[in-house]
Amino acid sequence: MKDHAPRKRFGQHFLTDTALVERMVRAIAPNDEQCVVEIGPGQGALTLPLLDAIQHLHVVELDRDLIDRLQRTIASQRITIHAGDALKFNFKPLAPEGKKIRIVGNLPYNISTPLIFHLIDQIDCIADMHFMLQKEMVDRLVAVPSTPDWGRLSIMVQYFCQCDYMFFVPPEAFSPPPRVDSAVVRLTPRSAPLFPATDFRLFGQMVNQAFTQRRKVISNALKSWLTADEIRAAGVDPGARPDAISLEGFVSMANYAATQQGKE
């Protein structure tokens, strides 16, 4: 069968390293008791090994040519193909009653961040997520405070998920090879936030504001919500920069601000 030419507008880089694919499937460890959903199956490099481990798989694919290829390659009773954009797809109906879905994929770099936030909006139906992503993004997902990678993405995803770096993936594992390194990450939704925000919308606004001014000390970055004394009362050093403040610290400041707003 003639290979499908990768399309730049879809950010397509097809995984070709079979040893890395097998390693990813072992990390996922799917079984037939679970509902597994693959985002962007491409030419089936991960799809087929997953189907060696389970009897049925859901896939979400936007490229019509790749959908036709999958339909010709895989028996219809073994795969359910959802033609559409994963950024707009509603994953909740795929979850069997009383169960959650497992999501996997080699994600195009150009949609990784918005897709993860789209999935977090549906987090109640998700058991876990295993993604092959640009390594720079994985480093940000698993980052800790006081490191260059700590930022809005780290905080907002870690609020909902335990983020674990799995393994490194070199450019030559793909065709065509991307100009960046990749890595596999596991995102496991928390049963409840470690540090619950009283007003999640306010928390998100404050985190976003802080990291649009990450070189400013936090008392300057968040001065429209809190004074330096109030930041100190929330347990955070008002002279600290945003990248030195933990998830707990941001939640504490947001909860203090919500309390102050309630007094107005």
Note the pLDDT of residue 258: 96
pLDDT for the residue 137: 97
- Residue 33: per-residue pLDDT: 95
pLDDT of residue 113: 95
pLDDT of residue 1: 36
Cβ–Cβ under 8 Å, residues 94 and 80: no
pTM of the model: 0.91
The whole-number pLDDT of residue 3 equals 52
pLDDT (0 to 100) of residue 142:
98
Report pLDDT for 263. Answer: 63
Residues of the chain with pLDDT under 70: 1-13, 262-264
Look at residue 237 in the predicted model and tell me its pLDDT: 98
Q: Kindly report, residue by residue over 110-165, the tens digit of the pLDDT.
A: 899 999 999 999 999 999 999 999 999 999 999 999 999 999 999 999 999 999 99
Let me know the angle formed at the C-alpha of 62 by 56 and 68, rounded to the nearest 5 degrees: 65
The tens digit of pLDDT for each residue in 67-86 reads: 999 999 999 999 999 999 99
- CB burial of 98-112 (b: ≥16 within 10 Å; e: otherwise) equals eebbbbbbbbbeebb
pLDDT of residue 124: 96
Length of the chain: 264
For residues 237 and 244, give the distance between their C-alpha atoms in angstroms, rounded to a whole number: 10
Residue-level pLDDT at 175: 83
Q: Rounded CA gap, 89 and 129, in Å?
A: 16
Q: Domains along the chain?
A: 8-189 (3.40.50.150), 200-263 (1.10.8.100)
Per-residue confidence (pLDDT) for residue 11, from 0 to 100: 44
What is the three-state SS of the chain?
CCCCCCCHHHCCCEECCHHHHHHHHHHHCCCCCCEEEEECCCCCCCHHHHHHHCCCEEEEECCHHHHHHHHHHCCHHHEEEEECCCCCCCCHHHCCCCCCEEEEEECCHHHHHHHHHHHHCCHHHEEEEEEEEEHHHHHHHCCCCCCCCCCHHHHHHHHHEEEEEEEEECHHHEECCCCCCEEEEEEEECCCCCCCCCCHHHHHHHHHHHHHCCCCCHHHHCCCCCCHHHHHHCCCCCCCCHHHCCHHHHHHHHHHHHHHHHHC
pLDDT at 179: 87
